[in-house]
Structure 1
Amino acid sequence: MVKEMGKEGSFEHEIHGQHGRDYVDPPPAPLLDMEELKQFVATLLFLYVSVATVIGYKSQADPCATVGFLGVAWAFGGMIFILVYCTAGISGGHINPAVTFGLLLARKLSLVRAVAYMVSQCLGAIAGAGLVKAVMKDDYNSLGGGVNSVSSGYSKGTALGAEIIGTFVLVYTVFSATDPKRKARYSFVPILVPLPIGFAVFVVHLATIPITGTGINPARSLGPAVIYNKKTIWDDHWIFWAGPFLGALAAALYHQ
């Protein structure tokens, strides 16, 4: 017993000798959290590739000479697949304020972190659209800058409904693909998480490009609008915030 107590005493002495106290401070938090920077870069890359594809598609008089309508949808869905695959394990793969909003409502994200993500996504989108304009300036200005708008022949109510339903499909897919119960049952599911999310973006674009150009992502709509900056495009811009946020709300409630 004495021997054991001696061992304990020497152990405590060793701890106090090393640290000078009976606890250890955690390492200091970084002044700038790199997670927000990752959201910025991911959204920048998303806007650059997708909007450049839209401009390239519109610049060809013969639709068969370029990627075509289907190729635009693949560009958006493919980039989401790639970026979610690359960033999901690091920063959650947040590229869309509507998805971030849905996760906030489901209490999977704090309010402060959600706001920081949304700001980073919007700034990244503006930078990405600006990069497209720098590379394709003449076509960018003459072909509408890849801006989302209500197409002729459709009402604002129809456009709002299309954005709500499209975002519902996307956010519900995100919830389902990242459901921890599903991960526990099927160990292979996390590997496939980016695939259904990318396909959701792809099929929604097929359905709604003719109506609104497909927003379902307020940052995607904001970036080109800020860089293109024509007065007429701001008239319907509220649709591309209200629709995605309402769709995310509905998806969060339905999934919960």
Structure 2
Amino acid sequence: MAESKEEDVKVGASKFREKQPLGTAAQSDKDYKEASPAPLFEPGELKSWSFYRAGIAEFVATFLFLYITVMTVMGVGRAKNKCASVGTQGIAWAFGGMIFALVYCTAGISGGHINPAVTFGMFLARKLSLTRAVFYMVMQCVGAICGAGVVKVFMKGPYETLKGGANIVSHGYTKGDGLGAEIVGTFVLVYAVFSATDAKRNARDSHVPILAPLPIGFAVFLVHLATIPITGTGINPARSLGAAIIYNRDHAWDDHWIFWVGPFIGAALAAVYHQIVIRAIPFKSRA
């Protein structure tokens, strides 16, 4: 009888044998195939309409992003008190919600970066060529400048008194505090982007349906809740540049380097962490 039970256990264990090894290399070629790294330079892209269409999509998305978010900041600033406006939480929702909507709209065209730091991280991970990365960054910055410019046209007088939504290190915080907040905040964002768009993860977790823009938008929302009091939350060099150029006051430029250096460091750390640690491929033993 005991032998019979032992036999049943062995049969049950082998009946539902694990088809794939557990761990970081859980996918077979049938479920997932690793995409080849993008070339550093791809001159052929310059002759493709899809290349320019992607750049236009990044421009429009960043334009709309700056318009809605900076307009929300202006609305909160004009209110007599925070209870008469959407407040800090409303600002955070505006940033996170717009990223959710715009990534959803443009992901299939350009990847929905809307942020030079995200583009930089994707470039480091060899997800796109240097040609495309530079083009995206230029279009994002131009779009941000135009978006902030339209807000200034609509707001006119109040825009100057409300500092134009420019990112500065708040009183009581050091430049180191601001830089650290930007590094960690951008790490959270870019790490969320890598995870949400990872085809290998999607193949493994296909039983968990999730819309990729959702965690990205929530990451932006949560980072804003945490760092608005410190820097106004940059984590997007194009957003910081657009607001600074249109506002164009000395104090808007004093700490501006933080909103480029911080996000780029945070994006680089997220790319390294995701590619080397999370996506690490185990060494294969020699047969």
Q: Same fold (TM over 0.5)?
A: yes
The residue identity in structure 1 corresponding to 2:226 is: A
- 1:28-43 equivalent positions in 2, closer than 5 A: 29-30=48-49, 33-43=52-62
User: 8 Å contact 1:182–1:189 — kept in the other structure?
Assistant: no
- Cα deviation for residue 143 of structure 1 reads 0.6
Q: Unmatched 5+ residue regions in structure 2?
A: 1-46, 276-287
Q: 1:32 to 1:92 in 2, by over 3 A?
A: closer
- 1:92-241 equivalent positions in 2, closer than 5 A: 92-187=111-206, 192-241=211-260
User: 8 Å contact 2:168–2:251 — kept in the other structure?
Assistant: no
Deviation string 1:210-237 (CA, Å, 9 cap, x unpaired) is: 0000000000100010001012211100
- Cα deviation for residue 29 of structure 1 reads 3.3
- Cα deviation for residue 184 of structure 1 reads 1.3
Deviation string 1:178-208 (CA, Å, 9 cap, x unpaired) is: 1111121234767510000000000000000
Q: 1:41 to 1:172 in 2, by over 3 A?
A: same
Cα root mean square deviation, aligned: 1.4
- Cα deviation for residue 88 of structure 1 reads 0.5
Moved more, 245-254 or 186-195: 186-195
How many positions carry a matched residue from both structures? Answer: 229
User: 8 Å contact 1:178–1:190 — kept in the other structure?
Assistant: no
Moved more, 229-238 or 39-48: 229-238
User: 8 Å contact 2:166–2:252 — kept in the other structure?
Assistant: yes
User: 8 Å contact 1:78–1:198 — kept in the other structure?
Assistant: yes
User: 8 Å contact 1:164–1:244 — kept in the other structure?
Assistant: yes
Q: Which residue of 1 aligns with 2:7?
A: none
The residue identity in structure 1 corresponding to 2:95 is: F
Aligned mates of 2:58, 2:100 — CA distance in 1: 15
The residue identity in structure 2 corresponding to 1:59 is: R
Aligned mates of 2:196, 2:61 — CA distance in 1: 20
Q: Which residue of 2 aligns with 1:12?
A: none
The residue identity in structure 2 corresponding to 1:136 is: M
Aligned mates of 2:50, 2:103 — CA distance in 1: 26
- After superposing on structure 2, the runs of 4+ consecutive aligned residues of structure 1 that deviate more than 3 Å are 28-32, 186-191
Question: Which structure has the highest helix share of the two?
Answer: 1
User: 8 Å contact 2:144–2:238 — kept in the other structure?
Assistant: yes
Aligned mates of 1:55, 1:239 — CA distance in 2: 23
Moved more, 176-185 or 110-119: 176-185
Aligned mates of 2:255, 2:60 — CA distance in 1: 27
1:61 aligns with 2:80: yes
Identity %: 70
- Secondary structure in 1 matching 2:108: helix
Aligned mates of 1:45, 1:241 — CA distance in 2: 21
Q: 1:187 to 1:206 in 2, by over 3 A?
A: same
Q: Which of 94, 98, 101 is equivalent to 1:75?
A: 94
User: 8 Å contact 2:51–2:132 — kept in the other structure?
Assistant: no
What TM-score does the superposition give when structure 2 sets the normalisation length?
0.77
- Secondary structure in 2 matching 1:216: coil
Aligned mates of 1:221, 1:121 — CA distance in 2: 11
Deviation string 1:76-128 (CA, Å, 9 cap, x unpaired) is: 00000000011101211010000000000000010010000000000000000
